Amino acid sequence: MHTSSHPRFWLMIGGLVLASLACTTLPFTTPTGTAQTPPPAGAAPTWPADQASGTSRATPFAFGELATAETWQAQVRDLVRGDQAWALLHEANMFNEPPAEGWEYLLVRLWVKCTAPQNSGSHSIAFGVTGDYKVLYSSGGAVAPEPRLPYEFTPGMEAEGWLVFRIRLEETNLLLQGDELISTTEEKPRYLALQEGAKIEVDPGLLEIDATAVGADKAMPAALGETVTTEDWEITVLEVYRGAEALQRLQAANPYNAQPAAGMEYVLVSLRVRYIGTAEGPAHLDGFKFKMLGSGQQLYDAPALVEPQPELNAYLFPGGEAIGWVGLEVDQAKEKPTLVFKPGLLSNYEIRYLALQ
């Protein structure tokens, strides 16, 4: 359904090649524009005093400190944001596009070493960025300047290079999250502060939000625009298009979106979702968590479609919110379509029904 979806959204930029590490360090600028001196390129990283830090957003590795995990180490060497980041990206590749209104680029230059045991094969170490919006931003969306950080490491390999992120313009308390994509352990991700003193704690007020029965009965779906609340999620329908108008918008988003099957029609829904669970996460939510209730009580899974931007494909920390489009289909005989939210195979208690007209 979603061409950008992945079991772990924050996959590194695919296809980036190993680049030379010889590069003049760019002027270092904090997100507030205050000049600082970064750790010198090639310098031996210093060990943090607290080896147990970094396993949550509330206890990140301090700015410039060496982050340690089971199979890797990392240290932030440089940081560029805003107009300066866009200037470097524009120079790096003429096809890079400027950020959308309300967004900006963030460039992070990172030193990484793979400390996994020899003969353990390759290790994909993924990095994302988060802040006070409580959303995890994946790397990519533009070609980073040289040298680019590789996304795959072998035991003993170390490299230094740039990662690029698109983040919201007002983001503060920036943290870098690092995590090995395929691991045989249940090791937690590591968090590195990208600003002096940056850290984020879970809002205890989330514990006061209780699940409600609104939309729990398919015979009494939530009214259009009414918010349903489960143990972990709040869901609100914002806009709905059906039939010919839905098809027109989908084909405008991508001309390769196919016509619906005979007897079926598309339904395009804009949703606001909020993660109200308190597990650190991030929790992932995309269009595959939604179905359509058709005539005869039949459930229709989400079809393979490319939705208009922004599509709903969010990784959210507690309290995080996202808005996005979901493309679905239902039989034409269904007069009053109903959206079904089912976040997991074993979470029947969280199923909610939302009227779409």
Specify the CATH architecture of the domain 1-201: Sandwich (2.60)
List Cβ neighbours of 274 (8 Å cut-off, separation of 6 or more).
233, 234, 316, 319, 320, 321
Could you give the CA distance from residue 4 to residue 1 in angstroms, rounded to a whole number?
Answer: 9
pLDDT of the residue at 128:
97
**CATH code of domain 207-355:** 2.60.40.1240
pLDDT of the residue at 343:
85
Query: Could you report the per-residue pLDDT of 294-352, keeping only the tens digit for each?
Result: 988 889 999 999 999 999 999 999 999 999 999 999 999 888 899 999 987 656 678 99
Query: Could you report the per-residue pLDDT of 194-211, keeping only the tens digit for each?
Result: 999 999 999 999 999 999
Taking 70 as the threshold, does the pLDDT of residue 43 lie above it?
A: no
Better-predicted residue by pLDDT, 76 or 347 = 76
Are the folds of 1-201 and 207-355 the same? yes
Confidence of residue 33 (pLDDT cuts 50, 70, 90): very low
Query: Could you report the per-residue pLDDT of 122-170, keeping only the tens digit for each?
Result: 999 999 999 999 999 999 989 999 999 999 999 999 999 999 999 999 8
pLDDT of the residue at 28:
35
Strands, DSSP E only, in 182-305? 190-193, 228-229, 233-242, 264-275, 283-286, 290-293, 299-300
- Average pLDDT over the chain, rounded to an integer: 86
Taking 70 as the threshold, does the pLDDT of residue 9 lie above it?
A: no
Helix (H, G, I), strand (E, B) or coil at 96: coil
Taking 70 as the threshold, does the pLDDT of residue 37 lie above it?
A: no
Query: Could you report the per-residue pLDDT of 84-137, keeping only the tens digit for each?
Result: 999 999 999 999 999 999 999 999 999 999 999 999 999 999 999 999 999 999
Taking 80 as the threshold, does the pLDDT of residue 45 lie above it?
A: no
Which one-letter amino acid corresponds to residue 65? E
State if pTM tops 0.85: no
- The answer to whether the beta carbons of residues 346 and 212 sit under 8 Å apart is no
The domain spans of the chain are 1-201, 207-355
DSSP 8-class letter at 318: T
Taking 50 as the threshold, does the pLDDT of residue 228 lie above it?
A: yes
